[in-house]
Amino acid sequence: MKTTSGIVAILLGPVLVLSAGAQAPADYSAYPCLSYTLPCGKIATRKPQTKTLAGALDGNAERGRQIAQARDKGNCLACHVMKGGAQPGTRGPDLSHYGNAGRSDAETYTAIHDMRTRNPETLMPPFGTNEILSDLDIRDIVAFLQASK
């Protein structure tokens, strides 16, 4: 075992270097940061927002699945088991049968928009409040969750 990890490292090293360089830097200057000097160090965290679902849900479950599972979008899989998702995280509850739980579209929408309204100390990012996901994105994800049975 001792020697294999070294050999694997040598073999994989250069290949992974190439793939790692492809990411474009994103701009998060609208959110608070850890700096003592940059303006983002003085930005306030957005307070919890209770957003109610307006009108009918009208979501697209297949698009919802894609958004929920894309790393640069919902990345819900980082914490939840979901239908059709590989390598799920384990910190949050299993959502692969969420549609059987009898939750309304409205409460699900509000929770995804900002889980802090339900649990102030939640680990779940405030997807709507912090504009990680749009109103439409969240509607589609709700449709996907409700269709997960």
Partner 1 sequence: MRLNIRTLALAVVASLGSAATVIAAGDEPYREHYPQARIDPARGVNGDIGFSDTLPYWRNEEEVERNAKWVGDPNEQWKLNWKFMDLDRIDLHPGHLAVDEGEAMVAKFAKRNPAFFSCLAEGGAKLDGLAAAYPKHDAALGRIVTVESRIEHCAKTVLNEDIRQGTPPNNKIAVYFKSLSAGTPIRVNIGDGKVMEAYRRGEKLFYVKTGQLNFACASCHVPGSIMGHKLRGETPTTPFADAAHYPTYRTPVGALESIQERFARCLGQMRTVQIKPGDPAFVDLEVFMTVLSNGYPVSVPSAR
Of 59 and 92, nearer to ligand HEC (C-beta) is 92
The answer to the question of residue 143 lying near ligand HEC (CB under 6 A) is no
Instruction: Please work out, in degrees rounded to the nearest 5, the angle formed at the alpha carbon of residue 134 by the alpha carbons of 126 and 130.
Output: 30
106 binds, among ligand HEC, partner 1, none (CB under 5 to 8 A by kind): none
Cα 71 to the center of its chain, rounded Å:
7
Q: How far is CA 127 from CA 11, 20, 130, 135, in A?
A: 39, 26, 6, 10
Applying CB under 8 A, does 3 fall inside the site for partner 1?
yes
Q: Which residue in the block uniquely carries the two structure tokens 């405030």? A: 126
Q: Which is nearer to partner 1, 114 or 140 (CB)?
A: 114
Determine, following the binding rule CB under 8 A, whether residue 22 of this chain makes contact with partner 1.
no
Determine, following the binding rule CB under 8 A, whether residue 102 of this chain makes contact with partner 1: no
Supply the DSSP string of 1-59, one letter for each residue.
-HHHHHHHHHHHHHHHHHHHTTPPPP--TTS--S-SSSGGGGPPPPPP---PPPS----
Q: Which of 80, 83, 113, 139 binds ligand HEC (CB under 6 A)?
A: 80
Q: Which is nearer to partner 1, 59 or 92 (CB)?
A: 92
Query: Using CB under 6 A, which of 59, 65, 83, 92 touches ligand HEC?
Result: 92
**Could you tell me how many residues of this chain bind ligand HEC (CB under 6 A)?**
24
